[in-house]
């Protein structure tokens, strides 16, 4: 449910900020080790359910394949059901699925827009 997302809005804000910083370094061919470590450390401190919620929103925002006739809550449920059905490996593997994506911040922002979740302060 979108409540799963809304209850983690601070996590989304933090991840988006860290991922955006990293992406800008990558796009400018600059060293981004410090930013990568900060994002990795932040992700390490999340619990597995947080990672699952983030990943669900990330893929929704990346692929943008969803039924536009559904409510935001139904869109999230459908996307999450897909991942729950296909199985999750473990927190580290799932977190790495996100960390390897340079436009992670953009995917998350797109996913939040699809779900009509206002994440900006």
pLDDT tens for residues 87-116?
999 999 999 999 999 999 999 999 999 999
In terms of Cβ atoms closer than 10 Å to its own Cβ (0-12, 13-18, 19+), residue 120 is exposed
Name which of 7, 104, 113 is nearest 64 in CA terms: 113
pLDDT tier at 30 (50, 70, 90 boundaries)?
confident
Q: What pLDDT is recorded for position 32? A: 77
pTM of the model: 0.94
d(CA 31, CA 70): 42
Mean pLDDT computed over 15-40: 92
Domain coordinates in residue numbering, the chain = 2-114
Please give the mean pLDDT across all residues of the chain: 94
Q: What pLDDT is recorded for position 109? A: 98
Which string of DSSP letters, residue by residue, matches 31-93? --HHHHHHHHHHHHTS-HHHHHHHHHHHHHHHH----TTS-HHHHHHHHHHHHHHH----HHH
């Amino acid at each position: 449910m979108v409540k799963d997302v809304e209850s983690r809005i601070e996590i989304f804000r933090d991840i988006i900020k860290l991922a955006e910083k990293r992406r800008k370094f990558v796009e400018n061919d600059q060293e981004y080790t410090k930013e990568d470590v900060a994002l990795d450390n932040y992700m390490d401190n999340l619990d597995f359910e947080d990672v699952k919620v983030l990943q669900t929103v990330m893929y929704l925002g990346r692929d943008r394949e969803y039924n536009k006739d559904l409510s935001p809550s139904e869109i999230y449920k459908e996307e999450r059901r897909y991942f729950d059905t296909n199985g999750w490996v473990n927190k580290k593997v799932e977190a790495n699925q996100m960390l390897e994506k340079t436009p992670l911040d953009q995917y998350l922002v797109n996913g939040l827009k699809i779900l009509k979740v206002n994440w900006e302060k």
